[in-house]
Amino acid sequence: MARRTWYRLDNIGKFYSSQAGRSSQTVFRYSAELEDDIAPDILQHALDHAIAQFPSFNVHLLNGMFWHYLEQSDGRPLVEPEHLPICSRLHYGPKSMLFRVSYFRNRVNLEVSHIISDGRGAINLFKSLLHAYIAERYDVPGVPSDYDGSDSDKAENSFDKYYEKDKAGAAPGTKIYRLSGPIDRDAPTFMEYHVSASKMLGAAHQCGVSLTSYLIAAILCAIRDVMPSRARNRAIRVDIPVDLRAFFRSETVRNFYGMTYVAYTPADIEADEDSAKTSATGPDATGDGQQSAARTAHGNGMGGLLTDEPLADIARHVQEQLGHATSRERVESHMNRMIALEKNPVLRLAPSPAKDWVLELARFITDRETTTTVSNLGRVTLDERLARHVRSVSFLTTPASLNFTVCSFGDDLSIGISTIYHDLNVIKNLCRILATQGISGLMNIAGVHVEKGASA
């Protein structure tokens, strides 16, 4: 009997494999709405084709003495009608497949464990699935694949390839604001907020910033509006995954990203009464106008009013920070710091259960240093012969607290929101802030605390 192919876990995969025995596992999900209801037989053919193109997804997680590892599966993944909650765990035991493909009406879903891939890597599998399905369903032959990496490129552990011990920087320290209130990690709420990409981009360009900077600024304002006064000296920290393929020569479909962040400490600015009213109701309003106006106060002892910094100014602060935060030097420093923990001599000699405990502790500490996370996948593109049959594409992930995921397809910008918090005021504030800028949209919601049994 031929020996099966096996893979070492990459740096990120090792962190997420520590969740393998737990009910809470990090899974991300792509969805696409097509123009007609899904044909299950054709979707199965498409999955067969896609997994043959990307076999490193069809693996099991097994336990080794010192590290977990991945082994190639000889089983055939099967599509299934959607019947599980969004981003349900994938690993149940050594024979578990670490991805699933499901469908509901005209929507096809791909869910992938973070153990085996990141968002940028798995989009290749999802696009291959859509490509094969649309080509057969709508008889669109001859469209070439837009991924041309080799088999070794696909399975490459790019963290090991590009690790440089001497470039591991120190982690910064500051007081971070964390959201509070009742939570439920086992039943998070998931939402998709669909808005016009061109309107969002137009509003961003009016401020002289990118769409990412503008959206992060709006999220910062939404969080600021729920902060108690006593916490306004703490920084709202937004963690941002950065695709390392943009800095290194890599075509891997495994995990290969680093983290960076921007931070904003709510600042009061002095304004006269007329300008304070304008900021509460005008183009730069940062949430509920009445709420912003109500929190202005005679705080300088000279009769002046203190008011929140406007959205446009915060967006420019974010843009400036992002320029440094996404520099190769900073991203590389963070990447090497992550790998340094994995390569610690004491940890390397520890048995797998001890490693799991240490890595889970490290992940817990990291989560405590973050207010929220924004992951922007950017534009999802397909050949125009295929794209005309797709209405929208969405991206969601299992939340550690409050997570935002963003992608666009055509003029549809999908803002994925996943949260463990029962209180949804931050999301309400965000929708209100965007609406004051002329950016309104459609919200799909799935969560036991909002609309039990609903499907996103």
Q: What is the pLDDT of residues 99-120, one digit of tens each?
A: 999 999 999 999 999 999 999 8
Residue 360 CB contacts under 8 Å (≥ 6 apart), including other chains: 18, 19
Q: Domains along the chain?
A: 6-138 (3.30.559.10), 189-266+309-446 (3.30.559.30)
Q: Residues 318-361: pLDDT tens digits?
A: 999 998 888 877 777 767 766 666 666 656 656 666 666 666 66
Mean pLDDT over 175-194 rounds to: 93
Mean pLDDT over 22-35 rounds to: 91
Q: Residues 271-316: pLDDT tens digits?
A: 444 444 444 434 444 444 434 433 443 333 334 445 789 999 999 9
Task: Please list the alpha-helical segments (H only) found in 369-418.
Answer: 384-387
Mean pLDDT of the chain: 83
Among candidate residues 403, 414, 404, 418, the one with its CA nearest the CA of residue 379? 414
Which position has the token pair 């943009």? Answer: 246
- How confident is the model at residue 425, as a pLDDT? 97
CA distance 181 to 423: 7
Among candidate residues 136, 129, 138, the one with its CA nearest the CA of residue 31? 129
The DSSP code for 144 is P
Give residue 124's region: left, alpha or beta (phi > 0; psi -120 to 50). alpha
Encoded tokens for 429: 């504030």
What's the pTM value of the predicted model, to 2 decimals?
0.84
- How confident is the model at residue 455, as a pLDDT? 38
Mean pLDDT over 245-262 rounds to: 86
Among candidate residues 420, 436, 451, the one with its CA nearest the CA of residue 182? 420
The DSSP code for 309 is P
Report helix angle 119-137 to 40-53, nearest 10: 130
More confident residue, 46 or 75: 46
CB 127 within 8 A of CB 298: no
Q: CB atoms < 10 A from the CB of 352, how many?
A: 16
- How confident is the model at residue 102, as a pLDDT? 98
- How confident is the model at residue 282, as a pLDDT? 41
CA distance 293 to 274: 11
Mean pLDDT over 201-219 rounds to: 97
The DSSP string of 335-353 is HHHHHHHHT-HHHHHS-HH
Measured CA angle at 109 (ends 106, 82), to 5 deg: 75
Mean pLDDT over 51-61 rounds to: 94
CA distance 406 to 374: 8
Q: Residues 64-91: pLDDT tens digits?
A: 766 788 999 989 999 999 999 999 999 8
CA distances (Å), origin 285, targets 143, 252, 429: 46, 43, 11
CB 444 within 8 A of CB 31: no
CA distance 118 to 400: 16
Residue 10 CB contacts under 8 Å (≥ 6 apart), including other chains: 157, 158, 159, 160, 254, 255, 256
End-to-end CA distance of the chain: 45
CB 191 within 8 A of CB 31: no
Lowest mean pLDDT segment, chosen from 29-43, 124-138, 278-292, 365-379? 278-292
Q: Give the percent of the chain with pLDDT over 90.
A: 55
Residue 82 CB contacts under 8 Å (≥ 6 apart), including other chains: 102, 103, 104, 107, 109, 455
CA distances (Å), origin 75, targets 55, 91, 313: 11, 15, 54
Report residue 163's pLDDT band, with 50, 70 and 90 as the boundaries. Answer: low
What residues does 304 pair with on adjacent strands? none
Tell me: pLDDT of 41 over 80: yes
- How confident is the model at residue 311, as a pLDDT? 96
Beta strand extents in 114-265 (DSSP E only): 189-196, 236-243, 257-264
Length of the chain: 456
CB 447 within 8 A of CB 190: yes
Phi, psi of 40 (to 5 degrees): -55, -40
Beta strand extents in 288-446 (DSSP E only): 305-308, 372-379, 390-397, 402-409, 412-419, 442-446
Mean pLDDT over 192-197 rounds to: 97
